[in-house]
Amino acid sequence: KAGVTQTPRYLIKTRGQQVTLSCSPISGHRSVSWYQQTPGQGLQFLFEYFSETQRNKGNFPGRFSGRQFSNSRSEMNVSTLELGDSALYLCASSPGGSGASKRAQYFGPGTRLLVL
């Protein structure tokens, strides 16, 4: 099976712009989660989508939003970019559903965002 793919891999934006990142999960996986990784804060959970619905949400401002399509692909959007949004954004997919084995997560390579 192909792994989790994320596009683009690298992105440079300026303050105030908005950005959309894309994640394609492993085939058959229905859950997609997004994480932000920075040197200072480590890995922080943004949100999880399952069957096109946001199932869980971390403590990020409303500028961070996401959605999931019927084919389980997900997009994350950040509006009004700030310098502090510079980070590695990681997407992870899992089979989803109930049961412990359904929640194992598999990560994509990430999108490195630099905000100038």
Partner 1 sequence: KQEVTQIPAALSVPEGENLVLNCSFTDSAIYNLQWFRQDPGKGLTSLLLIQSSQREQTSGRLNASLDKSSGRSTLYIAASQPGDSATYLCAVIDNDMRFGAGTRLTVKP
- Which residue ranges make up the site for partner 1 (CB under 8 A)? 33, 35, 42-43, 45, 48, 56, 58, 88, 90, 92, 100-101, 103-110, 112
DSSP structure string for 81-99: --GGG-EEEEEEEE--SSS
Question: Between residues 2 and 100, which has the closer beta carbon with respect to partner 1?
Answer: 100
CB of 102 to partner 1, least distance (A): 9
CA-based Rg of the chain, rounded to a whole angstrom?
14
Distance, in Å, from the CA atom of 97 to the CA atom of 78, rounded to the nearest integer, reads 27
CB of 16 to partner 1, least distance (A): 26
